[in-house]
């Protein structure tokens, strides 16, 4: 029993050595490797006590990585929730990022579609849909797709 526990701990440490994981992610990966629920819970508790597993730290690192893509706040929050992060913790991590969502939306629009202002309705709708899919809200999209004179 103790030998198997060391094995599950070593596997968890191996996973965490590559990148941060949420509690849910790590639990899922250990289940897929055939470990029992009780062993997983014990290992997760031990990792949390040792501060090797921390959902708050995971959320902050995840938000920073998604800002480099860039993605909007709603998309980042959705992805965090899918990874098992509580919605309040996700919102807190996003608000702590101090990101300028308007400029991120504009940078993404310029990188994808160019800097020039588009007067064609269909093209602007295409740009808006793209930014919306990436998680930006209406005001941020309006800022990114409007001409400099109109905003």
Q: Clarify whether residues 140 and 105 are in a common domain.
A: yes
| pLDDT, tens digit, 9 for 90 and up, residues 4-63 | 545 899 999 999 999 999 999 999 999 999 999 999 999 999 999 999 999 999 999 999
**pLDDT exceeds cutoff 50 at 144:** yes
Is 8 a member of any domain?
yes
Is 77 a member of any domain?
yes
**Lookup result for tokens 């608000």:** 95
54-92 b/e (C-beta count within 10 Å ≥ 16 → b):
bbeebbbebbeebbeebbbbebbbebbeebbbeeebbeb
pTM of the model: 0.85
- CA 130 vs CA 5, 33, 34, 82: distances in Å: 47, 38, 40, 21
| Proportion of the chain in helix, strand, coil states, percent, rounded to 5 | 70, 0, 30
- What percent of the chain is modeled with pLDDT above 70? 93
Q: What is the pLDDT of residue 3?
A: 46
Task: Work out the average pLDDT over 101-120.
Answer: 91
**pLDDT exceeds cutoff 90 at 148:** no
Phi, psi of 20 (to 5 degrees): -70, 150
Is 151 a member of any domain?
no
- Between 151 and 85, the more confident residue is 85
Is 150 a member of any domain?
no
Q: Clarify whether residues 38 and 74 are in a common domain.
A: no
Q: Clarify whether residues 32 and 48 are in a common domain.
A: yes
The domain of 78 spans 56-95
**Cα 90 from Cα 92, distance rounded (Å):** 5
Residue 4 tokens read as: 């198997």
| pLDDT, tens digit, 9 for 90 and up, residues 15-29 | 999 999 999 999 999
Q: Clarify whether residues 66 and 81 are in a common domain.
A: yes
Is 127 a member of any domain?
yes
């Amino acid at each position: 029993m103790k030998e198997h526990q060391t094995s599950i701990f070593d596997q968890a440490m191996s996973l965490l050595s590559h990148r941060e994981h949420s509690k849910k992610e790590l639990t899922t990966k250990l289940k897929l490797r055939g470990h029992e629920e009780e062993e997983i819970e014990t290992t997760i508790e031990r990792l949390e006590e040792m501060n090797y597993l921390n959902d708050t730290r995971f959320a902050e690192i995840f938000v920073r990585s998604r800002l480099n893509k860039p993605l909007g706040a709603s998309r980042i929050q959705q992805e965090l929730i899918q990874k098992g992060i509580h919605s309040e913790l996700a919102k807190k991590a996003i608000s702590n990022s101090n990101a300028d969502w308007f400029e991120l939306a504009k940078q993404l629009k310029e990188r994808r579609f160019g800097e020039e202002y588009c007067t064609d309705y269909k093209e602007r709708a295409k740009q808006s849909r793209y930014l919306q899919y990436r998680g930006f809200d209406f005001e941020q999209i309006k800022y990114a797709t409007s001409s400099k004179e109109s905003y």
